[in-house]
Structure 1
Amino acid sequence: MMMNLFSSFDPTSNFKLSLNWLSTIIIFLLIPSFFWASPSRIQILWMKIFLTLHQEFKMLIGMNNKNKGSTLIFITLFSFILINNFLGLFPYIFTSTSHMSMTLSLALPTWISFMIFGWFMNTKHMLAHLVPQGTPAILMPFMVCIETISNIIRPGTLAIRLSANMIAGHLLLTLLGQTGNFLSILTMNILIITQILLLILESAVAIIQSYVFAVLSTLYSSET
């Protein structure tokens, strides 16, 4: 029996190697087939998803003909998070996106690159963005402080939102699964149905959270 419920999210070590993090790079075993195999239904589905995301991100960024391909980084980010979220739903596969070390390493460099680009290339725009239009003069210092704080905490909120949603669903499934040994046949059937419904919900959460992460990153980049 686990001493701590959150210990199920800790990486385990075999032969002094933490093999759980290998789940993050399993997808790289599947990517090469896209370059040489004939188009399959899976590849066609991915291309439709990518084109849909490209059109949406292009509207959010306000992309013109000079910066084509700007949506590629956000589509890649969406795909990477989506696949890792889904891999965590399989038994005995480590959920890497439930750790802040993983989510923060995705959010922080992205946010820092946007800030560096914005302050060096669009300094006036970044300064004007600290004070919303129509703000009274007496409130301007307070608005600058509020906007600065809200801007600084953005990578933290991105990372915490993703990891917290992954932990919450998996923790609930773990708690319900541990009660199976003490239930009768009737309640066991109810538990199995509940677990299946929660698994479907977690599949939806995996898609939604990867989409939210990519969309918010796109919106942050559009402000620079």
Structure 2
Amino acid sequence: MTNLFSSFDPSTSTHLSLNWLSIIIGLLIMPISYWLIPSRFLFSWINILITLHKEFKILMGSSNGSTLIFISLFTFILFNNILGLFPYIFTGTSHLLFTLTLALPLWLSFMLFGWINNTLHMFAHLVPQGTPPVLMAFMVCIETTSNIIRPGTLAVRLAANMIAGHLILTLLGNTGSMLSIKLMPILIIVQILLLVLELAVAIIQSYVFAVLSTLYSSEVI
């Protein structure tokens, strides 16, 4: 069990949580030419960001808020998700400490902004349109509870998805020493397919986190 969860341990042999440096250390290995010299990859990434900007702008409605924070959030989570797929690299997004640090301040700032500037609008959100008068008190309790657990659901969704995929890859990899040579090609093919699936999950989860954060911000305006 220790070996199974060792990749999620933030502490090193010096008993310091130096593994958290993997969150930003990837920027150090990125060549400077990436930022200075235009390339096909850079143009493709710019097109992706422009598409996200247009989509987030639609989700935010008629608000004057900038989509830059949500695009940056998507990029940051995607960078850490994909970096965590490499061997012997600590996956920061698999820890609730990391995901809650992203979700909780965003949700708290949205709530403070909404209740201070749009108090009547926030009260109106507690009772959905068309609710019978008898159920209004019950609906207020449900809506309040669902609003409070939003940062928790955001954080748990991202962390659980990243942990699950890594654990499956680790469990299958540990069975390699016990298999015969004839079954090894099957195991390698399954591992490659799971790695492709994990790559898709890394992209989808970062997108879901950013989109849900955008939707939560649009509700308070």
TM-score grouping bracket, smaller chain normalisation: over 0.9
Cα deviation 1:25-51 (Å, max 9, x = unaligned): 02433396555x121122111111110
Partners in 2 of 1:32 and 1:8 — Cα distance? 30
Answering whether residue 74 of structure 2 is matched by residue 78 of structure 1, we say yes
Partners in 2 of 1:130 and 1:4 — Cα distance? 47
Deviation at 1:16, TM superposition (A): 4.3
> Among 161, 164, 168, which residue is 2:160 paired with?
164
Alignment match, 1:210: 206
For residues 144-159 of structure 1, what are the structure 2 equivalents within 5 Å?
Answer: 144-159=140-155
The amino acid of 1:49's aligned partner reads I
Unaligned runs of 5+ in 1: none
Cα deviation 1:104-159 (Å, max 9, x = unaligned): 00000000000000001111100001000111111100000000000000000000
The amino acid of 1:17's aligned partner reads L
| Count of aligned pairs | 219
For residues 1-224 of structure 1, what are the structure 2 equivalents within 5 Å?
Answer: 2-3=1-2, 5-29=4-28, 30=30, 33=33, 35=35, 37-63=36-62, 67=64, 70-224=66-220
Partners in 2 of 1:77 and 1:186 — Cα distance? 45
Partners in 2 of 1:12 and 1:33 — Cα distance? 33
Cα deviation 1:165-205 (Å, max 9, x = unaligned): 00000000000000001111111110000000000000000
Partners in 2 of 1:62 and 1:27 — Cα distance? 35
SS at match of 1:146: helix
User: Does the aligned pair in 1 maintain the 2:23–2:80 contact within 8 Å?
Assistant: yes
Deviation at 1:222, TM superposition (A): 0.5
Deviation at 1:209, TM superposition (A): 0.2
User: Does the aligned pair in 1 maintain the 2:7–2:90 contact within 8 Å?
Assistant: no
Q: Structure 2 length as normaliser, TM-score?
A: 0.94
Cα deviation 1:20-78 (Å, max 9, x = unaligned): 1111002433396555x1211221111111100000000000145xx26x100000000
